[in-house]
Amino acid sequence: MHHDGVMNPDGSAEIEIAVPLATVWAAISDIERHPEWSSECVAAEWTGGHSRPEVGATFVGHNAVGDFTWDAPCTVTDATKGSVFSYLVGDPAVPSAMWRWELEAIDHQTTRVRHSFHAPDLLKPDYPYPGRDEMLLDGIVATLARVKQVLEGTSSEG
């Protein structure tokens, strides 16, 4: 907890999912599926003629917290198959945030997923949303739990 009003621009969490690496990778690198597990993203689609996760591909996330909605234009910065999916939000030169997913196979049926963010905007003196850092951290913990729930639930049907 920060008592001096300064927010932490970095956060991460990880979880183990009882689903093979390839399945997890296919899900988290498909931005159109992110609304299934994100607490804020309500829709997302590829833009600029892009249709798959690759470096330089762009997409827009449509987000909502309560009555507040916003669009987040994003650019993929890493799409190393089966390993890393990361993207930045806003102007690639001065992004407001960077989001990263890192995957590691523990064995053939289990994948460790680490989800993290770096949000330099949180350090701006005029940043208007106090406690946003804790909100983002709670969000990634909830997102990982939901990814686990969705993927483990769907994998057992086959």
Output the pLDDT for position 92: 92
Q: What is the domain-level CATH number for residue 66?
A: 3.30.530.20
- Residue 59: inside a domain: yes
- Residue 4: inside a domain: no
Output the pLDDT for position 76: 98
- Residue 96: inside a domain: yes
Output the pLDDT for position 39: 87
- Residue 1: inside a domain: no
- Residue 38: inside a domain: yes
Query: Quick check: 71 and 60 in contact, CB under 8 A?
Result: yes
What residues make up the domain containing 15? 10-155
> Could you give the number of structural domains in the chain?
1
Output the pLDDT for position 4: 59
Encoding tokens for residue 34?
């992110």
Alpha-carbon distance 78 to 56, whole Å? 8
Q: Which of 44, 151, 18 is nearest to 99 (CA)?
A: 44
Output the pLDDT for position 6: 80
- Residue 134: inside a domain: yes
- Residue 42: inside a domain: yes
Residues of the chain with pLDDT under 50: 1-3, 157-158
Q: Which of 85, 54, 84, 57 is nearest to 73 (CA)?
A: 57
- Residue 5: inside a domain: no
- Beta strands across the sheet bearing 10-17: 10-17, 110-118, 97-107, 84-89, 68-80, 58-65, 41-47
Query: Quick check: 119 and 136 in contact, CB under 8 A?
Result: yes
